[in-house]
Each structure stands twice: as C-alpha cells, then as structure tokens.
Structure 1
C-alpha cells in the first residue's frame, strides 16, 4: 500500500505551538528519557500501521492517531509506554563492567562520522558530538590470550590514563546534552515528523526549520541552509533510539 502525500495546511498544523515545549529547558533526565521513549515506541507503532501484512494494522493506525492527539494537546505529557526488554543480560555483566551488546555496537557504528580517521580512538571521537550521550562509558578490547594478571595490570594503567583524558562527570555531561537538544529543538522537529508519518500530510524540511526557528533570529537566517537541515536530520537519527533511553535511565539525576 503506497501512501499518497498531500502538503499539510496551516490549519493542519494549528496544534503546533513552541510555547508548549518551553518546560523542556529545565526538564530532568528522567523526563527526557520518557519523552524520547514515547516517540521511539510511537514510531514503531506507526511502522506497523503502514504494513498491511501486520495483523490488525488498521487498529495500529487508529491507536497512533489517538496517541498523537495526546501530543497535540500537551507534547510533554507521558504516553504511557514502558521500557522494552530488547536483549537478555549477559551473565558475565557486573555493576560497572559489561559485555558490549550487538545493539550497542550497532549504535556506536551508526554514530561515527564517515570521514573520521580510522586510527582515532572511537570514544574520544564520539564525545566531540553534541548529540553523543555515552560519555560515561568506555569501550575497550581485551586480549584474552594474555594472563589474568597482565590484563588486570594493563587495565589499571589504561583506566588511570583514560580518566585523565576524560574528566567530565556523567550527570553534568548528560544535562549539557539535553540543554543542547532543547536549544536545537529536536523534540519539536520529531513531533512534526511524526505528524507527517501518521497523517501522510507532508511537512517539508524547510517548513519545519521555519516553524521551529521562528523565535531565534540567528537560526532564522539559516532557514534555507543545507547544513542546518543536515545537522538536524543527524540529531534526530541519533537521539530517538532505545539506546538513548537506556543511557538516560541509568544516568544520575
């Protein structure tokens, strides 16, 4: 089934009001986690509603419309989605050291810029991104052919050096990230994209930028700037993922 898009009218978008998002400026990490998870789960439901091979896909469509009506009335109200258990925890995991999951590995790979020098330390490169939320973690390789004594000794040396290179406290870093997300209006943008996906009424990117940057004179000058749209696309792709919710849930509030 191919969707037939028509352009959204001003009347279609009357529900969108930047004022309704202002409380995000001081929102807690828990609130951000809830709002992101709601959008992630609603996106999954939308995808199901567009698949005629999904059982009860018409039910999914109606469900999505009802959920989005809640966002229209108050974009910061929780939709009631709960955390998904995506994988079984490894029995080797401890409180501070865990085996890396395929989900995390995929997330890391998708977060790294294509142009990056392959000799760069992955975590240090990723931390340069204003959207990267994993700064409280380090991802290392361990040579299991070495003795346990050698591994413990080398890990202690590595940890001491790495902590000196990366001294930001996790809670402060996460709060700095959410402040950037608020400034860049990523939630507002995501909601407009969800509206388009649910209703099949097109909201082109230049119109999205004009709507979310209307109160920012600096950004309004770049409404037609390709880089602004490109960066916002990347932010949306990186932020609205299950992995981000897990990280914010585990961060200190």
Structure 2
C-alpha cells in the first residue's frame, strides 16, 4: 500500500464507484452522519499509520495493518452508507455535562479550536457582533458556538442571573450566523457529494493509484458542467472534505439534536 503518483486508476479500477449509492445520505440522521465521518477518519488514520510505519515493524504486523484497511474499504465499496463500526475513543473531547447547545470547552476542544484559528479566518469562529460570518467557513461547526469563561466558584443563582444578562445583551447586538443548523448542513453535504469524494481519496491511498482531478469530479457530478465549473467544484470539495472529516465534527454532530 504505497502511493505511486505516476500510476493512474483505470475505468475498471473505478467500477465500484456509483454516486447513486450515496443518495440515502439525504435522509440520514445526525448520529448516522457522525458515525459515517468517524469511520472514514479512523480508517484514514490507520492507512496513514501503515504508510508511515517504520521498517522495524514486523512484516506480519505490516501485512495485518494493510489487510485491515483493505477489508474495511471493500465494505465501503460494497455499501458506502453501511457503518464500519469505529467507536468513539476514551480520549474523547466530550464531557458528561454536555448538552446539545451547551458543551464544556475541554482541553481537546480547545486544541481543535486553536487549530481552526490557524487554518481559517478566525473571525467567524468568534461569535462577535462585529464580524460577519463568511461562506468560506460555513462548514466549520465551531462557528455556531460562543466560547465563554464562567467563574464556577460562585453560586448557581449568580451564574444563572449573569448568564441571562449576558445572553440578553448578546442577542440584541449579535449578527445572526448564516451557517444554519446541523440538519441543514448535512443536507448541503449530501448534495455536494463530499462523502463520495472522500471515498475516492481513500481509494487513492489504499490502492496506490491516482485519480485525475477532472475524472474525480466527473464521478461525483456525472451530469457535469463547464471545465471552469468542474475546477471550482473540485476546489470546493477539497476544502469541504478537509473541514468535515474530523473527529471533532463527529462529536459535535452526535451531541446535537438539530
């Protein structure tokens, strides 16, 4: 399972891919989307571990890792919407106190948020009336959250009163975000074909065969468009996949109710 950029996938190599197999995503729940994303995140992590595994690793261990990846991807090829069953790890960022709309900014979530600041224009990630949300960051789920500091050394009554005051002031001054609910987001993800796009990139890593950029877009959008439209679609799918297929997105979806 070594990547050879000069080796391209043939039409026969891609017979397994049919964008219609992904049509059921239109009706998938938030939890189902969370599992679907987690499966691909962890499968890709395993693939990367194999590709980067040291030569000191025993040959049988390397082969077991490779077989694990291949078998799981065969399952995706047969039915991309069937869960692979990867589970949330004990290193989860969630907290027992989390609710769908109020979640503790744990150390791991803070790490994810810091990474978001490095990768994106940070302004839409800070819920601040002075900054308008931009469509470029619409997929980043952190943009739905305000990040507060709360003095837990005072009474519940004081916290509730102060929070109510803060919320009233914030609602009066804030510019509404245009990213929509998570339910609206996953509908947009389904329509874009980003899951199929991710599976094609996994195929490239596992098979060692590259798919030409234009061919990849044609597989996702069989009806096609102009060359410029296809190029824009590919760039958008690259960005969208990078933002969606992350462990933090799984957790945000699974902890949400809308």
TM-score class, shorter: 0.7 to 0.9
* Partners of 2:115 and 2:221 in 1: CA distance: 27
Corresponding residue of 1:179: 187
Maintained 8 Å contact 1:131/1:238? yes
* Partners of 1:117 and 1:30 in 2: CA distance: 28
Instruction: Quickly say closer, same or farther: Cα 1:8–1:45, change in 2 above 3 A.
Output: same
TM-score (norm 2): 0.79
3-state DSSP class of the match of 1:131? coil
3-state DSSP class of the match of 1:44? helix
Maintained 8 Å contact 1:36/1:241? yes
* Partners of 2:251 and 2:83 in 1: CA distance: 17
* Partners of 1:133 and 1:207 in 2: CA distance: 30
* Partners of 2:11 and 2:143 in 1: CA distance: 41
Corresponding residue of 2:4: 4
1:122 aligns with 2:146: no
* Partners of 1:140 and 1:88 in 2: CA distance: 17
Instruction: Quickly say closer, same or farther: Cα 1:201–1:121, change in 2 above 3 A.
Output: closer
Maintained 8 Å contact 1:46/1:61? yes
* Partners of 2:126 and 2:62 in 1: CA distance: 41
Maintained 8 Å contact 1:33/1:248? yes
Cα root mean square deviation, aligned: 3.4
Residues 27-56 of structure 1 show CA distances to partners (whole Å, capped at 9, x for unaligned) of 111111111111011011111221332562
* Partners of 1:188 and 1:116 in 2: CA distance: 27
Corresponding residue of 1:230: 235
Deviation of 1:213 after TM superposition, in Å, equals: 1.5
TM-score (norm 1): 0.80
3-state DSSP class of the match of 1:223? helix
Maintained 8 Å contact 2:9/2:210? yes
Deviation of 1:151 after TM superposition, in Å, equals: 6.8
Deviation of 1:115 after TM superposition, in Å, equals: 7.5
Alignment gaps of 5+ in structure 1: none
Maintained 8 Å contact 1:135/1:173? no
Question: For this pair of structures, how many residues does the alignment match?
Answer: 245
- Note the 1:21-32 alignment, pairs <5 A: 21-32=22-33
* Partners of 2:102 and 2:37 in 1: CA distance: 26
Q: Which moved more, 1:49-58 or 1:37-46?
A: 49-58
1:103 aligns with 2:115: no
Residues 97-129 of structure 1 show CA distances to partners (whole Å, capped at 9, x for unaligned) of 5542343233334435868486x7713569543
